[in-house]
Amino acid sequence: MTAATRPGPARRTGIPPRLLGLLGLAGFAVLIEILPRIGVLPARYFPTTTAIFGALVDYAGDGRFWTALGQTLRTWVIGLAIAVLAGVAVGVVIGAVPVLRALTASTIEFLRPIPSVALIPLVVVLVGSGMSGTLVLVVYASFWQVLVQVLHGVADVDPVARDTAQAYHLGFRYRVRYVVWPTALPYAVTGIRLATAVALILTITGELTIGTPGLGKLMDTAYNSGLEAVPSVYAIVVVTGLIGVLANNATRAAERYVLAWHPAVRAELPA
Amino acid sequence: MNRRFAAPIAALLLASLSLTACGDDEPSSSAPAGQNDQVKAGVIAIVDVAPIYLGKQQGIFAKHKIDLTLETAQGGSAIVPNVVSGQWQFGFSNVVSLLLAQSRNVPIKVVANGNNSTGDTKNDFGGIVVKDPAITSPKQLEGKKVATNALKNIVDTSVKDIVKKDGGDPSKVNFTELAFPDMSPQLEAGNVDAIFVVEPFLSQAKAKGWKIIGTYADVDPNLCVALYFTSKELIGKNPDLVKRFTDAMTESLTYADSHPDDVRAVLGTYTQITEAVRKGLTLPKFPSAINKDAVNKLADLSVTYGLMPSKPDVGALLP
């Protein structure tokens, strides 16, 4: 997803891709430092990198920040776990039973495109604005990512393998385990990676708009605390970005581990 | 293969479980005899609600056997449903939003005062700010674009009243909706001609050399801006708790009104307003009594400016 993972340009320059990625980031930081200073961006509303970093350092010594970080991670991980378990379970069952699949296809295609954000007013009234409110949004948004991928995966099962399993009278449990699952796994893993990002987005959105405690809410209080607190708003943006990068790296690493046997992953390994 | 996959899933589950385990326990509204009641109150993290934070900090709520948890929302629109549904026991909202709720028969009732204008038309916590030096009086806002945080609510109604009192035609003022933090940048960029901001944005606008041409105090010297409320259900179910909350709130308001330095200090605990700004901003008044005349005045203005078809039953809304 990032330039750093593409081996192409690195081979030409001889610089390790990881270093190139860091260089790019450093360049971006320098740009953000300079632009407000020379007046291209209004410094009052667009603080310099050093000001943002200063706000980050202030946060590091502020208990409220760490509490909020913990709250955000908690909502995110719980929401993701529920969505992944439900998505995989429902996906395997629906995908393996053709009648169920035909029965639910139109409903899934109707429910899936509904933006989670559109459910906010409903969620506030029905569930309230505590963690459970944001959890509903997170689970709703990320569940479909997993479900649809798993459904595709299950549909992709090699007919020869399926027929063989049938010929040997393998039970549902064994068919799922030895035929369906190996085919669906790479799809499911992709779904989980997508869901990880979506769940983080919805966690912050929920905190920001309905006031569930967490980084998003901390950002909202900074936003409402006058112009002097503007760097603090950006500091939270930076933190959420870092969480996103770490999560993406973690899911990619997990992907490589889980799918070590898969040709697509084997080919990606550096020579 | 499934074993390979089982490990990350199990890790995810474990992580979520351990995170849940260290989570906060949900307070319930009714406590066993002899113990403090667990109470959640919904507020907006702004200067106006400093007394309730101060009251909690000073142990005033604990004295009245209330363990208070403060929940923050972006506005009254999120607080009212949470209070009506019983998720939160009490809430904070501006007077016009409460009047609108009353006119729609939302089952709520006011339990305590919130905050009032300072009475000083030159130095209040909310007012109209202009950048253009040619605009010197509110009636000149005719044909101008004025930013309000919400349409058909307390801010634009106040601006209309201020314009009318100055001899202008309020129907000729063009309102546009902007969040308070976004107003100064928009005024600076020239996208709007005037803004109505509250603290801490008002003192920051003043510091830029922009002029204040009208304030809440112009609407009424003792304008009641916001109030604390509860659901009618809780009044029926637990009138004793409601009474204790009212007593604690009244005491907190009195304390806040006479300890401005404590108010400025407590602001630092729930907002991120910097210390320098906290020292300089204009605090609202925190009278413990509700100014019923001012609430009636806002109800009349709301009808005049078409927020509601007829005057709501103010007596039924107020305690």
Last residue of a domain, one of B219, B238, B253: B219
Q: Does B112 lie in the same domain as B247? A: yes
Q: Which domain holds residue B101?
A: 37-117+223-317
**Cβ <8 Å between A129 and B2:** no
**Cβ <8 Å between A226 and B277:** yes
**Cβ <8 Å between A225 and B273:** yes
Tell me the CATH number at B291: 3.40.190.10
Q: Does B235 lie in the same domain as B279? A: yes
Q: Does B228 lie in the same domain as B145? A: no
- B204 at A interface, C-beta within 8 A: yes
Q: What tens digit of pLDDT does each residue of A168-223 get?
A: 888 878 888 888 888 888 899 999 999 999 999 999 999 988 888 899 999 988 88
CB A55 within 8 A of CB A235: yes
Cβ contacts of residue B260 below 8 Å, gap of 6+?
A: B283
Q: What tens digit of pLDDT does each residue of A127-171 get?
A: 877 888 899 999 999 999 999 999 998 888 888 888 888 888 888
Whether residue B107 is contained in a domain is answered as: yes
Q: What tens digit of pLDDT does each residue of B228-255 get?
A: 999 998 999 999 999 999 999 999 999 9
Q: Where are the beta strands (DSSP E) in chain B?
A: 37-43, 66-72, 90-94, 108-116, 126-130, 145-148, 174-177, 194-198, 211-215, 224-231
CB B19 within 8 A of CB A73: yes
Collect the ranges in chain B with pLDDT lower than 50.
1-31
Cβ contacts of residue A60 below 8 Å, gap of 6+?
A: none
Q: How many domains does chain B have?
A: 2
Q: Does B93 lie in the same domain as B132? A: no
Interface test with B, best of A215, A225, A233 (most B CBs within 10 A): A225
Q: What tens digit of pLDDT does each residue of B128-173 get?
A: 999 988 888 888 888 899 999 888 888 889 998 898 888 888 888 8
Among the listed residues B183, B180, B80, the one whose alpha carbon sits nearest the alpha carbon of residue A221: B180
Whether residue B281 is contained in a domain is answered as: yes
**Cβ <8 Å between B8 and A258:** yes
- Closest Cα in chain B, distance from residue A49 (Å): 19
Q: Does B227 lie in the same domain as B215? A: no
Using CA atoms, how far apart are residues A130 and A213, in angstroms rounded to an integer? 7
- Closest Cα in chain B, distance from residue A139 (Å): 14
Find the residue in B nearest to A174 (Cα). Answer: B2
Last residue of a domain, one of B183, B200, B219: B219
Q: Does B237 lie in the same domain as B109? A: yes
Using CA atoms, how far apart are residues A55 and A232, in angstroms rounded to an integer? 5
**DSSP label at residue B285:** B
Q: Does B250 lie in the same domain as B109? A: yes
CB A101 within 8 A of CB A157: no
Among the listed residues A54, A75, A71, A73, the one whose alpha carbon sits nearest the alpha carbon of residue A63: A71
Whether residue B70 is contained in a domain is answered as: yes
- A217 at B interface, C-beta within 8 A: yes
Name residues 99-138 of chain A within 8 A of B (Cβ).
124-125, 128-131
The closest CB to that of B273, out of A44, A229, A254, belongs to A229
ipTM over 0.90: no
Name residues 219-248 of chain B within 8 A of A (Cβ).
none
CA distances to A27, A29, A213, A248, B295 from A243, in Å: 20, 18, 17, 9, 48
Last residue of a domain, one of B198, B219, B240: B219
Q: Does B199 lie in the same domain as B149? A: yes
Interface test with A, best of B5, B18, B106, B191 (most A CBs within 10 A): B5
- Give domain A63-268's CATH superfamily: MetI-like (1.10.3720.10)
CA distances to B118, B242, B289 from B91, in Å: 23, 12, 17
